[in-house]
Amino acid sequence: MTTVLAADWAYWQETLVKVGLGLVAVLLLTGAVVYMYLFKFVSFMQSRLGPMEAGPYGSMQLLAEVGKWLQKEDIFTENSDRIVFGLAPAIVMSSTFLMFVVIPAGPNAVISDLGTGIYYVLAMSSIATIGILSAGWASANKYSLMGGLRAAGQLIAYELPLVLAVVGVVIQVGSLNLQDIVHAQSDGAIFGWSGIGNPFILTQFVGFLIFLIAVQAELTQSPFDMPIAESELVGGYQVEYTGIRFLVFFIAEFATAVGFAAVASTLFLGGWALPADWASASTMHWLGPIVISAKAVLLVGVVFWVRFSLPRFREDQLQQLAWKFLIPVALLNIVVTGILKVAF
Amino acid sequence: MASSPLSDFLRSYLTAAIFGSLGFILVGLLLFLSYLVRPNRHQAQKYLSYESGVDPVGSLWSQSQIRYYIFALLFVMFDVEAVFIFPWATRVEAYGVFGLVEMFVFIGVLLLGLVYAWRKGVLKWA
């Protein structure tokens, strides 16, 4: 171990820079999304101003909120499974961070360019299920238990459409690596015309729609918010959490929203790249992060737009939508994509 | 890099693990900050489980009918399917028509399983 630490000074320096920048990027984007959509966008949809006091137009509201949550007492109920209860928020948070590892933001701007790419993202995102289930179980609370089980049922049901929707893109590219997927789109051509590359939203629009619906459910956003349904379960697996541990669930939820939106824009909207002849490769080193952030933030906007527009499904309707509609359609999409890929 | 004791493959996953552990570090840091400023006043009632304002009744890990446990079984089946589909998806052209037919048979069998579950009524709220 000491040889690893000593011999690879360059590696540790590089990793430290990457991890630091990655952390700042994730937290900044999450903060921006919370302010833009949860505070302001929804307020305007409901004909109110939203937070206006903290900072200009309430832009410092998020910091004020964190300050407030920091001062809350940290309560473990007497029957709770203390270790699991305490660890659960960190597991969810860690799952969120692991998702961001492979999402590229430029030609070299990726924390670790794993060959398994998109498969790794899907695997890591489902670790959150374990965190949520253990939160629900360890709380020793009937509401939490119901909420945790509902969340587990929902997350695994929508895991499948999510995974299967991605297969169409993988078939078209022939690689799981996210950089390869980005390059395939920016260098691609639509029937020989390469003006806008070949963003897969055009050829894989079915996959894109399934992916967005599944993401909505994976994020437990309305209309799929039964696990935390406040009117029936008073908050589900979050009931017993106070202060900073609750805040961690909250941050993780929005960071995951940004993560899934970034994955969706990488898969279907071209990721950090612009079409090949729009900008030179050297420009993309600084333009890339801006491009992918813009796309991701726009997609999170769609998620929140749906969230604040639709009422909640019933629990059985939720499962039926996944099993009877999304999964068969996703499988059909794979079959059709496979045939077209081999035929042409 | 060539002289390094770690292969690049393992190294790329080490980076991922480091970034993942940030989740725990960040939570630890926030908890420590909170520990510095939060109050800590003991009061027996605070540590009761929340049950809409009344004292909790019966076992807190109460048994209830999970109507959708069967979905967990179906999930395992389809998730394994996904594991098999991805390797094929990256090499569709190389396997050509043979691979395509092979995969259709595979997907067909799984779809049959779903149709069977559907006809048996396990996908309905019973």
User: Considering only CB atoms, which chain A residues are within 8 Å of B47?
Assistant: 75-78
Q: What is the pLDDT of residues B5-61, one digit of tens each?
A: 567 777 888 888 888 888 889 888 988 988 888 888 888 877 777 777 777 777 767
ipTM of the complex: 0.82
Fold of B65-126: Methane Monooxygenase Hydroxylase; Chain G, domain 1 (1.20.58)
Average pLDDT estimate for B60-87? 78
Domain boundaries, chain B: 1-39, 65-126
Query: How far is residue B93's CA from residue A309's CA, in Å, rounded to a whole number?
Result: 43
Q: Do A140 and B49 touch (CB under 8 A)?
A: yes
Highest mean pLDDT among A94-98, A274-278, A283-287: A94-98
Q: Which residues are CB-contacts of A262 (< 8 A; sequence separation ≥ 6)?
A: A100, A103, A292, A295, A296
Q: Do A142 and B51 touch (CB under 8 A)?
A: yes
Query: How far is residue B73's CA from residue A71's CA, in Å, rounded to a whole number?
Result: 43
Q: Do A160 and B50 touch (CB under 8 A)?
A: no
Query: How far is residue A253's CA from residue A218's CA, in Å, rounded to a whole number?
Result: 10
Identity of the amino acid at A155: L
- A7 — pLDDT class (breaks 50, 70, 90): low
Q: Rg of chain B's alpha carbons, rounded to an integer?
A: 26
Query: How far is residue A167's CA from residue A333's CA, in Å, rounded to a whole number?
Result: 9
Q: Considering only CA atoms, which of A269, A247, A246, A249 is closest in space to residue A257?
A: A249
Rounded to the nearest angstrom, the gap between the alpha carbon of residue A28 and the centroid of all alpha carbons in its chain is: 15
Whether the per-residue pLDDT at B126 is higher than 60: the answer is: no
Give the helix ranges, DSSP H, for chain A: 2-7, 9-33, 42-45, 61-70, 82-100, 117-125, 127-138, 142-173, 178-186, 200-203, 205-218, 230-233, 243-268, 281-307, 315-320, 327-343
Residue A227 has a pLDDT of 73
**Residue A65: which domain range?**
2-343
Distance from CA of A80 to the nearest CA of B (A): 8
- Cβ contact A340:A249 at 8 Å: no
Q: What is the pLDDT of residues A249-263, one digit of tens each?
A: 888 889 999 999 999
Q: What is the pLDDT of residues B93-125, one digit of tens each?
A: 888 888 888 888 988 888 888 888 888 877 776
Query: How far is residue A138's CA from residue A134's CA, in Å, rounded to a whole number?
Result: 6
Query: How far is residue A232's CA from residue A314's CA, in Å, rounded to a whole number?
Result: 11
Whether the per-residue pLDDT at B2 is higher than 50: the answer is: no
Query: How far is residue A318's CA from residue A314's CA, in Å, rounded to a whole number?
Result: 6
Whether the per-residue pLDDT at A44 is higher than 60: the answer is: yes
Burial degree of A316 (CB within 10 A; 0-12, 13-18, 19+): middle
Q: Do B72 and A156 touch (CB under 8 A)?
A: yes
Number of domains in chain A: 1
Distance from CA of B54 to the nearest CA of A (A): 13
